[in-house]
Structure 1
Amino acid sequence: MDYIVEIENVSHGYSKDREQLVLDDLSLKVRRGEFLVVLGHNGSGKSTLAKLINGILVPREGSIKVNGMDTADENTIWEIRQTAGMVFQNPDNQLVATVVEEDVAFGPENQGIESSEIRRRVDESLKSVDMYEYRKNAPHMLSGGQKQRVAIAGVIAMKPDCIILDEPTAMLDPSGRREVIDIVKKLNREEGKTIIHITHYMDEAIDADRIVVMESGKIAMEGTPIEVFGDVEKIRGLGLDVPQVTELAFELVKAGLDIDPKVLRIEELVDRI
């Protein structure tokens, strides 16, 4: 099996007290080309995990390898960040220029890429997130969803094999959320990018290859979307919801309807009924 991210027995915390570990002896492998969704409520360790994979933080114990490179090795940290690009929650924190295309060019310029290649990458990246027509616009004039798509384009322009998204839709309205998720799915399916998508929106996870649910720095559940969300009571016990359609099917079964409650989409529920 070809893994792009290998996390082995990682523990991490922000104080010396082992009772306050944010991640506790966590191991996880991510396959190349996989669409992995990481769920968990606030404080479960999701964002810390993202920063560790990207090399922003170094684990206190254990190891993390990205494309075979150890994140604790300072000599490979820039190569690691080019392999695993990061998209943060607030797009304003990632937008640095006054024109969209200049913002997308910022990363490749810092990589020392020649100008003709930068031009090609900027155009390709903006087209891949459906923002090419806005290339001359000012980022601050865009909607939240458009800003986040520009931030994603800036990461794509650096040609990463893996894109880590740390709650990229948390500050967006439903329309903006939909825009960003559609782009993420497209990057995974059409361009083969490995996606590690960290979110607390259950509906964003239904198209994942695999879901990992975190609780108190450990993996509490793991499996396909239907396996994870099919266990409604366990998910609820972790303080999380399930997708609305799954919830409806669960309640219909409780009310006496004889159907298989393990559904993720409205079309599936209609077929069962």
Structure 2
Amino acid sequence: MCEKMIECENVVYEYHNENKDKNSIAVNGVSIDINKGEFLVILGKNGSGKSTLAKHFNALLVPTSGKVVVDGLETSKPENTWNVRHSAGMVFQNPDNQLVATIVEEDVAFGPENLGIEPSEIRKRVDASLKKVGMYEYRRHAPHLLSGGQKQRVAIAGILAMQPECIIFDESTAMLDPSGRQEVMKTIKDLNKNSHMTIVLITHFMEEAVDADRIVVIDKGKIIKVGTPREVFSNVEVMKNIGLDVPQMTELSYELNKVGIPIKKDILTIDEMVNELCRLK
């Protein structure tokens, strides 16, 4: 039986509208469990509630009703907040908003220092974290001189230095160019596969979701689909009806089937498409 990292039970979150009579519901009755070591992707168009839900996973927000439990700790209890954030770190969209120091290694040390870790242990953690994200050689550089992808990897190192069990990436590749996105996604996959870290990735890039263990699709604050990438993306019309795309190769297989070419409908990658087309010869 899988050990649970995050448990959501009928979570509702309402934003208070000062200028309106009625509050707006951003998350509406969400129930989902995230297992330890899992790579989970949350998809949804802008305004779907995916980022609001993600902020519940490290107690930046607490439910209006319902319950969120992170590593056995209920997030709505104030005495748990610090430990919840220690267990579940968060990397945001704009890396510039997360960098606080003028030297890379000082920035990575910031979190452990606030935890009261011994200086010798901080030194070990900083070096290990920078090596893990491939940024050790930049440890004495100024963060503002780095590329977007490099800055985001430094931000990830800063979270790693606090040794969380889970990292939530809230559209962390949205402001990066394709090269930077590739760098960060490689780091994310490596942390999950080789360090067995629980990863929750919120994204609107469908190709980033292909390697997930599970995908959760959210629309209007509700979960409308949960499954493996093949299960979710093969529902092309469902995804399009809520304003989402599917990976390019899945779209191509869908269009080929529409014109009578009988190939698999759950193709995700170029290699799979090439193999399937070769089979037709």
TM-score exceeds 0.5: yes
**Structure 2 partner of 1:227:** 231
Deviation at 1:91, TM superposition (A): 0.4
Identify the range of structure 1 (12-21 vs 252-261) with the bigger mean alpha-carbon deviation: 12-21
Name the SS for the 1:75 alignment partner. Answer: helix
Letter of the 2:80 counterpart: T
Are 1:14 and 2:18 matched, yes or no?
no
Unaligned runs of 5+ in 1: none
Q: Distance in 2 between matches of 1:247 and 1:178?
A: 21
Q: How does 1:201-216 map to 2 (within 5 A)?
A: 201-216=205-220
Letter of the 1:185 counterpart: K
Are 1:46 and 2:50 matched, yes or no?
yes
Once the two structures are superposed, what CA deviation does each residue of 1:199-234 show, in whole Å capped at 9, x if it has no partner? 011000000000000000000111000000011111
Name the SS for the 1:234 alignment partner. Answer: helix
**Structure 2 partner of 1:272:** 276
Once the two structures are superposed, what CA deviation does each residue of 1:123-159 show, in whole Å capped at 9, x if it has no partner? 0000000000000000000000000000000000000
**Structure 1 partner of 2:260:** 256
Are 1:157 and 2:158 matched, yes or no?
no
Deviation at 1:29, TM superposition (A): 0.4
Unaligned runs of 5+ in 2: none
Q: Distance in 2 between matches of 1:48 and 1:257?
A: 41
Are 1:174 and 2:175 matched, yes or no?
no
Deviation at 1:261, TM superposition (A): 2.0
Name the SS for the 1:177 alignment partner. Answer: helix
Q: How does 1:22-37 map to 2 (within 5 A)?
A: 22-37=26-41
Identify the range of structure 1 (245-254 vs 146-155) with the bigger mean alpha-carbon deviation: 245-254
What is the TM-score normalised by the length of structure 2? 0.95
Deviation at 1:238, TM superposition (A): 1.1
What is the TM-score normalised by the length of structure 1? 0.98
- How many residue pairs align between the two structures? 273
Name the SS for the 1:158 alignment partner. Answer: coil
Letter of the 2:160 counterpart: I
Q: How does 1:78-97 map to 2 (within 5 A)?
A: 78-97=82-101
Deviation at 1:73, TM superposition (A): 1.1
Q: 1:142 aligns with which of 126, 146, 149?
A: 146
Counting aligned pairs with the same residue, the percent is 59
**Structure 2 partner of 1:189:** 193
Letter of the 1:7 counterpart: C
Name the SS for the 1:86 alignment partner. Answer: strand
Name the SS for the 1:13 alignment partner. Answer: strand
Name the SS for the 1:76 alignment partner. Answer: helix
Q: Distance in 2 between matches of 1:107 and 1:46?
A: 26
Name the SS for the 2:28 alignment partner. Answer: strand
Q: Distance in 2 between matches of 1:161 and 1:18?
A: 38
Q: Distance in 1 between matches of 2:271 and 2:66?
A: 44
Cα RMSD after superposing both structures: 1.0
**Structure 1 partner of 2:108:** 104
Q: Distance in 1 between matches of 2:167 and 2:32?
A: 16
Name the SS for the 2:272 alignment partner. Answer: helix
Deviation at 1:255, TM superposition (A): 1.9
**Structure 2 partner of 1:5:** 6
Q: Distance in 2 between matches of 1:37 and 1:262?
A: 18
